[in-house]
Structure 1
C-alpha cells in the first residue's frame, strides 16, 4: 500500500490537523507495516497557477522555457504522487471558513484535463479512481457540514471530480469552545479506522 500524507497547516507542532493526519497514517501503517509513505508539507509552498503555468501545462507549448519546464516538472511530480497512492491522508485545517490557499493550489496543480479527469458526452469523469482518502478536518469554530463550512464539501467534490469517491472525514471541530470534546469526537472517528 502506498500512502500520500499531505499536511497544509501553518501552525507547526501546534496543529491539530497535523496530529490527526499523523495518527491516521500511524493506524494505517500499523495495519500494513509494509506500507510506503510519501509525506508532502504543502505549507512549504506550492506554485500558483499563472499565465506561465497555463502556457506550459494547458496550452502545451512545444518548447518550454526553463521556468515553464520547472512548472511542468512540479505539476507532474504532484500528480504522480497522487497517481501512485492507494490512500491519501489530507490535513484540512480551516482558515476563514475554508481550506488553506496552499491546499487549494495543490488541487489546482493536480486537476489537469486529460490526465486526472476528462470530459465525456456524459459529463466529467475522474481518472484517479480506486483510491481512498482520509481527511483530518480541524476547526476552532467552524462546525463541519454547517453553513459556515466552505471547505469539507468543496474538498469532497474536488476529490470526487478527480475520481476519488471513497472519502472519510475525521473531524475535530469546535476546538475553541470545547477542545476536549472536539478531540474526543476525532478519537472516535480514528478508532473506526483501526476497526
Structure 2
C-alpha cells in the first residue's frame, strides 16, 4: 500500500528532484516494499540511484562510503534501516541524510488500511486482524486469508520462525513482553542478568523486530 508520504517521494523522483532519504521502521513495516517502488520510480525516470536495504546490517566501511556520497551531494541515495542496531557509522549516515530532509518513517497500518489490504471475504475480521497484528503490514498479510477469528497453526508456525533467529536475550525480552513485563526494567535486568544500560539495548533490539507494540505488549 502506497501512503501519501511515499507518493510524495515518488512524485519528487518523477519531477527530477535529487533524493537523499532515509527510510526507517522496525521489521515487517514494509521498507523493502517501499524501496521496490522507489527503485522502479528511478528506473522509469531514467535516473541512476543507490537504493540500499537493511543498512543496519552493513559494515562500517560501506556505511561511511554511503555517507560520503550523501555529503558530496553525489547523486540519489535512499537507505532503509531498522532503528536498531544503530552503530556510530549508521548514526552518522542518518544524520547526513537528515540534513537533506526528514526520514520517511513507516507506521503500522490503521484499521482502514487493514480493511483495504484484506480480501472482501475477510472484511468482517478487520478489528480482529488489527488487534492481533498491531497493524504491522507483514503480519496483516499473513492473516489476510482468515475466514474466522482464529489464527491457523501454519500461521502460528510462521511467527515462531521469526523468533528462531533472534538473539537469546531478545527472545527472553519477548517472553517478558508476553507476560506483561516488557516495561519493568528491574524484572528485565534480573531476567537477563545485565545492568540498566544493557536492558535498554535489549529493549531497543526487541522493538526493532516489529514483534512488540508501542505499549510493550507482544503481538
Task: Flag whether TM exceeds 0.5 (same fold).
Answer: no
Please, what TM-score do these two structures have when normalized by structure 1? 0.33
Please, what TM-score do these two structures have when normalized by structure 2? 0.30
- Structure 1 or 2, whichever has the larger Rg, is 2
Q: Please identify which structure carries the higher strand content.
A: 1
Q: Please identify which structure carries the higher helix content.
A: 2
